Amino acid sequence: MNYNIFASAFFKTFNSFLSMKKIALFASGSGTNVENIIKYFNNNRSVEVSIILTNNANAFVLERAKNHSISSYIFNKHEFYNTDNVLKELKQKKIDLIVLAGFMWLVPENLINNFNSRIINIHPALLPKYGGKGMYGDYVHKAVIANGENESGITIHYVNNVYDDGEIIFQAKCLISSEDNPESLAKKIHSLEYEHYPPVIEKLLLKK
């Protein structure tokens, strides 16, 4: 055995492990975006999904975590807003970036302060339009259609203590035809989410 080659390979792998960027995914429901992000970073030597957190003990996203052998953490409203339990879990995992992927609660100050400019969200419209409390999922698409908009899209943005108010990182657009309804628009939006969210996450972490 060539021990120089072995040592070189070992230290290369060890250094890669030390420099691995770690993501925490927050979701409240099924977790289709979570699944897409997990698959995107499978076998990636620079980025890993380290933990999935949810406020819903019945969320299907927990099954996705189990299927991919990713640890999960369930919390309730009191724990989220009145304790540091979630923050401690994230620090223990040495998380570099918090990614909201269908997470419906406002992020508390303790997380925002400790992960300044390291929490991002994806919104199913072109902010600042159709943002704010209660504007998520089909509520957004119905409002966009009802107002006769000719385009919609996605907005990836940093998270602060106001719903959908953080600095915009990235936007992508899609056209709305006269035949579109909230369901068909949702499909267009999901397609944009799946295409763009993972590479934007990677770019933020690796500064590409």
Instruction: Give catalytic residue positions.
Output: 123
Of 197, 204, 200, 199, give the one whose Cα is nearest residue 32: 197
Of 55, 69, 61, 70, give the one whose Cα is nearest residue 32: 61
Q: Which residues contact 133 (CB under 8 A, 6 or more apart)?
A: 106, 163
Residue written as token pair 């579109």: 180
**Residue 15 CB coordination number (10 Å):** 10
Q: Which residues contact 84 (CB under 8 A, 6 or more apart)?
A: 110
| Backbone dihedral angles phi then psi of residue 113, each to the nearest 5 degrees | -70, -35
CA distance 81 to 109: 9
